[in-house]
Amino acid sequence: MNRDIRYLAALNDRTILYVSPDQDGAGPWLWALDLETRAPRRISSGLEIYSSIDASADGRRLIATVSNPVANLWTMPILNRLATEEDVKPLAVSTVRAFAPRYSGSALYYLSSRGGGDGLWRHEGSEASEIWRGTDGALLEPASIARDGGRIAIILRKQGKRLVTVLSPDGGDPQPLAPSLDVTSAVSWSPDGKWIAAGGIDGDGPGLFKIPVDGGTVQRLSKGTATNPIWSPDGSVIVYTGPVVAALGTLVMVHADGTPAEALDIKVRVGTEHYRFVPGRQQLVYIPTPSQVVPENFWILDLETKKTRQLAAFNSRSTRTFDITSDGSAITFDRLKDNSNLVLIDLPAR
């Protein structure tokens, strides 16, 4: 049974309702668990996304949150002044839904769906093509593209575990890596294309790992919570989200061999990928979250001079992640809206 289960609701002495994605990561849908047979079955139909469920005490009514999520891409230039909402422009692609952007040269990769789980698309020029179909395994994390564009790393859920899988540029020849490692977030290629940095869990618990792409032993770099690692352009350091307190994670920087690097006084919101390196520069663009009540804006940190500068003056709380164009001149980011509604469901009398 899927382990990503939320909002348990007892319908009667025999049936438990809950929301969960399916084994391929699509959804979440509405499910029922028969306590006698221990058999789950999906009871929602169509493509409605269920965010929560609860049942009345007599089991005659259900209250559910049904979402119609919208996701699209926007772009803003990196200026010598604060960018405002007037500087933000929509980035048109051929799919209605688009989020989790990642650049490789002139090509833009992003997640989208034709119905069901999200797959991987590539937009270049005026053409868009589907690289990985969500029906073959829904993608819950942004893809990672090798610097030379020759390989793509995605995270696929297989038998309750998330595995790094490497694809060719056209989405073919999928090769799973490190089957003993349960990956917990997006991953990052080393600049030389020989390693993939990943946060995950092995037999010794959570940590940051280096996965050799062409065979070899997985190397643990750190212990404890580690998610969304990104490799610096020169390959010297890896930045990742470390300890989490009250839905905020602290950015941690280590050298490529796992030894500690200089501390970063930056906190980001959990569930986002709010930091990316400018291509070819030791500069980190990030969206800090000092607290849960203040606006989130784009900032940049120069790792060599240690200087920071605010880049934008509009709130980015609807942004899950972003990337920077290959020439370092602009930021492409997503904006996600749940568009949720409460739905009351009357059940027939038994």
Sign of CA dihedral 302, 303, 305, 309: positive
SS3 for the chain is CCCCCEEEEECCCCEEEEEECCCCCCCCEEEEEECCCCEEEECCCCCCEEEEEEECCCCCEEEEEEECCEEEEEEEECCCCCECHHHCEECCCCCCCCEEEEEECCEEEEEECCCCCCEEEEEECCEEEEEECHHHCCCCCCCEECCCCCCEEEEEEECCEEEEEEECCCCCCCEEECCCCEECCCCEECCCCCEEEEEEEECCEEEEEEEECCCCCCEEEEECCCEEEEECCCCCEEEEEEEEECCEEEEEEEECCCCECCCCCCEEECCCECEEECCCCCEEEECCCCCCCCCCCCEEEECCCCCEEECECCCCCCCCEEEECCCCCEEEEEEEECCEEEEEEECCCC
Res 117: pLDDT: 79
In this structure, the answer to whether residues 170 and 303 fall within a common structural domain is: yes
Instruction: Looking at the structure, tell me whether residues 208 and 299 fall in a common domain.
Output: yes
To the nearest whole number, what is the mean pLDDT of the chain? Answer: 91
Question: Are 303 and 226 part of one and the same domain?
Answer: yes
Alpha-carbon Rg of the chain, whole angstroms? Answer: 21
The confidence score (pLDDT) of residue 24 equals 63
Q: Assign 126 a pLDDT band (cuts: 50, 70, 90).
A: confident
Given a cut of 90, is residue 129 above it in pLDDT?
A: yes
Q: Of the candidates 36, 67, 98, which is a domain's last residue?
A: 67
How far is residue 345 from each of residues 10, 67, 140, 204, 284, measured CA to CA in Å? Answer: 15, 15, 29, 45, 48
3-17, 234-248, 280-294: range with lowest mean pLDDT: 3-17
Going by their DSSP bridges, the two strands 205-212 and 219-223 should be labelled as antiparallel
Percentage of the residues of the chain whose pLDDT score is greater than 70: 96
| Whether 247 and 156 share a structural domain | yes
Residue 141 scores a pLDDT above 80: yes
Q: Is residue 32 domain-shared with residue 151, that is, in the same domain?
A: no
Q: Range with the lowest mean pLDDT among 11-25, 66-80, 168-182, 203-217?
A: 11-25
Q: Which of 44, 67, 90 is the last residue of a domain?
A: 67
Average pLDDT of 162-186? 94
Least confident of 97-106, 114-123, 190-199, 216-225: 114-123
Give percent of the chain above pLDDT 90.
65
Least Cα distance to 108 among 92, 94, 124 occurs for: 124
Same domain, residue pair 58 and 78? no
Out of 121-135, 189-203, 224-238, 322-336, which region has the weakest mean confidence (pLDDT)? 121-135
Cα→Cα distances 223→208, 218, 231, Å: 7, 14, 18
Give the confidence band of 116 by pLDDT, cuts at 50, 70, 90: low
Same domain? For 77 and 60 the reply is no
Average pLDDT value for residue range 155-169: 90
pLDDT reading at 115 higher than 70: no
> Given a cut of 60, is residue 84 above it in pLDDT?
yes
Give yes or no: residues 12 and 89 share one domain: no
Which residues on neighbouring strands pair with residue 109, listed in sequence order? Answer: 102, 122
pLDDT bracket for residue 227 (50, 70, 90): very high
Mean pLDDT along residues 210-225: 94
Same domain? For 80 and 161 the reply is yes
Domain residues for the domain of 11 are: 6-67
Claim to verify: residue 157 and residue 17 sit in the same structural domain: no
CATH number of the domain at 148, please.
2.120.10.30
CB neighbour list of residue 92: distance below 8 Å, 6 or more residues apart: none
In this structure, the answer to whether residues 12 and 91 fall within a common structural domain is: no
Do 39 and 94 lie in a common domain? no
Name the domain count of the chain. 2
pTM value is: 0.85
Nearest-angstrom CA–CA distance, 321 and 143: 12
* Residue 3 in this model has a pLDDT that exceeds 70: no
pLDDT at 1: 46
Q: What pLDDT does 265 receive? A: 92
Which tokens hold the place of 246?
């009250």
Model confidence pLDDT, tens digit, residues 31-69: 989 888 888 888 877 667 888 889 888 888 888 888 777
Domain limit, last residue, from 67, 90, 108: 67
- What's the confidence (pLDDT) of residue 343? 83
325 within some domain = yes
